[in-house]
Amino acid sequence: MADKHELSESGDIRILAAELRELIRTARHLAARSVNRVQVLTNFEIGRRIVEFEQQGKRRAEYGKNLLKKLSNELTAEFGRGFSEDNLSLMRRFYLVYGEQISETVSRKLFSPTKSQALSDFLQKSETVSRKSIETDKDFDALRMFTLSWSHYVFLIGIKNADERSFYEIEATEQNWSLRELKRQYQSGLYERLALSRDKESVRKLAKEGQVVTNPEDLLKEPYVLEFLGLEKKERYSESDLETAVIDKIEHFLLELGKGFLFEARQKRFTFDEEHFFIDLVFYNRILRCYVLIDLKIGKLTHQDLGQMQMYVNYFDRFVKRDDENPAVGIILCKQKNKALVEITLPQEANIHAREYQLYLPDKEQLRRKLLVWVAEQEDRP
């Protein structure tokens, strides 16, 4: 049997090992960030110099498409893959899209041929200064702008709408989206779905600030897209099937719900007057500091569904939530809702919302057209 000294030493080693693991993870993360940042900044600068070369008089403009081909041959011969005509064209386009947002003075300072250490010093400084310093220091214009990998930016510059592109860039940065997740959110029309659930002023803020959650309405979107559940291949499915599929794909479902969600329970039971009731899914939103109750319906929304959710919310507000927490929010996800039914059944101040879901990716062009109509209607209002 080990003595107390050996047990204590073993515990100390475990603590040290945990500290070292965290140190190594942090170092690798910073290294990866630096590599990504160097690549993005370098590609931006390559794009800038190509554009400036093209703009310096008619003689250089005559090079036209041959310029990228000749540059590709020169650079590929020395540096290998990565400098094809297509890639150089992307770098050029990258600068054209983002060039106006970054000071040319900053760009020249970082890549001045006479200051080979400038970029290295910039990156080292960026990892040690506070976020507040970065936000107020003009030398960090490029750092504030370029927060994602080059692969992310290749995808983003393909988004023509500047407001939409800005929204996805902000969200990908704040939510740490992989390129795959960024593409999925774009293809699911997240920007349009959030915009259609907001007023005109809030839509403007989406492009400047991303999805900012300050009240329950900020969480909502229309519709919710659940294509990742894989249920569209089944001719028939029950509410139990839908719930089980959500639990099996809970990580994806949390991403679809949005910011700040934590999963708490499935089929949460509570008893009232010796009768048992079950809430399909219970979440907690750490930003709003409130419970979010979700009921899943495979058919058309009924007034009984709304009344049942009202009871669930009332129960949580009276018996579950703490004094320092905000009132619970109820969301009924259904295949088909009736807006007039919701408005006539629930009081205006009710913290209950009905939203449709679909099991396939939406038609993005159709969502865009719907948003354009909505924006036009908003502009016509006094």
Backbone φ and ψ of 275, nearest 5°: -115, 135
Q: Is 13 a member of any domain?
A: yes
Q: Which residues pair with 276 in a beta bridge?
A: 271
CATH code: domain of residue 316? 3.40.1350.10
Hey, what are 79's tokens? 């540096």
SS3 content of the chain, % helix, strand, coil (to 5): 60, 15, 25
Q: Is 21 a member of any domain?
A: yes
**E-only strand ranges, the chain:** 224-225, 261-272, 275-285, 290-300, 329-336, 352-358
Distance in angstroms (rounded) separating the CA atoms of residues 80 and 132:
40
Q: Is 1 a member of any domain?
A: no
Judgement on whether residues 181 and 271 belong to the same structural domain of the protein: no
Higher pLDDT, 107 or 254: 254
Distance in angstroms (rounded) separating the CA atoms of residues 27 and 197:
41
Judgement on whether residues 279 and 319 belong to the same structural domain of the protein: yes
Judgement on whether residues 191 and 293 belong to the same structural domain of the protein: no
Domain containing residue 214: 159-223+363-382
Q: Answer for the pair 152, 183: CB distance below 8 angstroms, yes or no.
A: no
Q: Is 311 a member of any domain?
A: yes
Q: Is 154 a member of any domain?
A: no
Q: What is the mean pLDDT of the chain?
A: 82
Question: Residue type at 81?
Answer: R
Q: Is 152 a member of any domain?
A: no
Judgement on whether residues 257 and 209 belong to the same structural domain of the protein: no
Picking from 118, 145, 172, the residue at the C-terminal end of a domain is 145
Given strand 261-272, what is the order of strands in its sheet? 224-225, 352-358, 329-336, 290-300, 275-285, 261-272
Q: Which of 183, 112, 108 is nearest to 148 (CA)?
A: 183
Per-residue pLDDT tens digits for 62-92: 555 588 888 888 898 888 888 899 999 999 9
At 137 the three-state DSSP class reads: coil
Judgement on whether residues 16 and 118 belong to the same structural domain of the protein: yes
Per-residue pLDDT tens digits for 142-156: 555 688 999 999 999
Judgement on whether residues 357 and 257 belong to the same structural domain of the protein: yes
Q: Is 150 a member of any domain?
A: no
Judgement on whether residues 126 and 172 belong to the same structural domain of the protein: no
- If phi over 0 gives left and psi between -120 and 50 gives alpha, with beta otherwise, what is residue 350? beta
Q: Is 74 a member of any domain?
A: yes
pLDDT band at 134 (very low <50, low <70, confident <90, very high): very low
Give the position of tokens 């960026």: 126
Judgement on whether residues 99 and 36 belong to the same structural domain of the protein: yes
Judgement on whether residues 240 and 346 belong to the same structural domain of the protein: yes
Q: What is the pLDDT of residue 3?
A: 57
